[in-house]
Structures are given as structure tokens and as C-alpha cells.
Amino acid sequence: MDIISKNRWVAPMLSVLLVCIVGVNVVQATGKWNEASDSKQMTELAASTHNNLSLSPEQRRLTEDGTSLSVHPSAQSVNWTVALPARNWLVSAQHEQEQKQAAARQKVKAIADAKAKKEAALKLAKLERAKAAAAVSTPPQKLYFTRTELLKQEDAKLATWSYSVSDKELFLLQKIVMAEAEGEPYEGKVAVANVVLNRLRSANFPDTIYKVIYQKSQFSPVANGRLKRVTPNEDSIKAVNAALNGQKEVSDNTYYFLSLTLADDLTVARTKKEVKRIGHHTFYK
């Protein structure tokens, strides 16, 4: 009993000592955890700063505004919903700009294509006009007829008969046009040549150009000698070439013409049907 009473104070002291030891250990453990946490945060902050410095000015601006994904790994899940609209806006703006550029290129291409087509059409039309002018300026050596009309050279396959024009007859035709229509419009000169060729085709008149022109009492310049005196001018030559190549100022059934103010005999005017008036000449069928 004495021993117990003497040593009563030992148990409380041991308890206090145990509590102190446990407390010290807890404080040390807590300090170490806080130190580790602070160290981790400092490391992440340094990494974030380094990443921000490596970004472009625009990316840093978007990051600072909270409109871009954070370079901090732990913040990505937080900033994703904030950054997504900005990323979509950038993509949409870029896509819109690309569409505008593509539309501008397409417009430039369309203008260039239209210009090229117009130039090609003008060039083709010019070639066609030159070809037509060359064809008209050159008299054909052979004429092609059906029973009712003189054909153009390109329609020769439709002809029922043909007629070869000699140089002498070509010159004679030019002279009669000059003698009959020197002061008449170009169309009137072509029409006089048309009448001669219409008679050549018709079974009711002679079958050569020479005989048609020299048929008795048909062309006044033959009777009064004017035919022999004239020299064909440029318009008369062009008009004859045009008529031989198929240009028609009067219809294929037109066989007569006269000047109502100069003609001595108006039988044709009284008995034939008027077709057309060109200058001072009236044409009949």
C-alpha cells in the first residue's frame, strides 16, 4: 500500500508526457504537409507563367480575359465552358473570311471568263465578216440555179442546173449595171444585176448573159450606145459580185425595171405588177 501511495503521481505524469509526444508529432506532420502543398502550388504557378510567356499576344489576351483555355492543367476543366464560345467565334470568323475570299476569287474568274468569251465572240464575228466580205468581193466562176431561184454558192448541192460565167460576160454584166444605174443607190445596182440573172434563169428569156443583155428592145443603154461608152466603177463591180454570190434586193421573179420619169415606153408599168422601188427605178414582175 505504501508503494502505491508513494507512486500515485507516476501515472498522471506518464499520461501528460504521452499527450505531449503525440502533439509534437501531429504538429510536425501538419507542417510537412503544408510545406509540400505550398511547394506544389509554387511549381504549378511557375509552369503557368512560363506557358503564358510562350503564348502569342492574342492568346495571352484571351487567356487573361478568361476567353481561352487556361494553360494550367488543373484549370482546364473549369475554363473549358468559358473558352468554347470564343474558339467557336474565331473558327466562324475564319470560315467567313475564307468564304469571302473564295467568292471574290470566283467573281474575278467569272469576269475574266465573260471577257474572254466576249473577245472570242468579237473575234469570230470579225472573221465571219471578213470571210463574207472576201466572198462577196470575189465573183464565182459558176452559178447554181433551181427552176425558181439563184442559189448561194454554199447551196450548190441543191441546184438543178449550173452556168459558167466567162470573164467577158462578167465584164458585160458590170457595164450594164453601170450604164443603167450609175446614179442609183448601191441596192439599186444590185437589183439591176438581179434582174439580168433572173432572166438568165427563166425559160422565157435567153439562156446566156450576153444574149439576155443584147436581147432586142430590152435595155436602153444597148440601143443608145451608152453600154459601150461606160467603164464600171467600184460600186458597180461590187454590186455585180454581190448579186452573183446570192445577194438579192428584189425577188427571183422580178424581170423588169424602168425609170418612170425617163422611160419612153411605159407598157411595163401598165401591164406588170410592181414589186419594189429603189431610187429612181421601179421593179416589176
DSSP per position, 73-117? GGGHHHHHHHHHHHHHHHHHHHHHHHHHHHHHHHHHHHHHHHHHH
256-259 and 274-278 strand pairing: unpaired
Question: Helices 234-244 & 76-137, crossing angle to 10 degrees?
Answer: 110
> DSSP states of 267-282 as a string?
HHHHHS-EEEEETTEE
pLDDT at 186 over 90: yes
* Whether pTM exceeds 0.85: no
pLDDT at 165 over 60: yes
Please give the grid coordinates belonging to residue 62: 484571351
Contact between 257 and 195 (Cβ < 8 Å): yes
Q: Give residue for cell 454590186.
A: 239
C-alpha distances in Å from residue 69, one per residue of 40, 42, 74, 78, 88: 21, 21, 11, 9, 13
Contact between 278 and 182 (Cβ < 8 Å): no
- Rounded distance between C-alpha atoms, residue 198 and residue 190, angstroms: 12
Question: What are the pLDDT digits (tens) for 197-229?
Answer: 999 999 999 999 999 999 999 999 999 999 999
Question: What are the pLDDT digits (tens) for 246-266?
Answer: 999 999 999 999 998 888 888
| 148, 152, 155, 160 alpha-carbon torsion, rounded to 10° | 40
Question: What are the pLDDT digits (tens) for 41-92?
Answer: 555 545 555 555 555 565 555 555 554 444 455 545 545 555 667 778 788 8
* pLDDT at site 41: 52
Q: Most confidently modeled of 25-34, 134-143, 163-172? A: 163-172
Single-letter amino acid code for the residue at 118: K
- Rounded distance between C-alpha atoms, residue 2 and residue 233, angstroms: 171
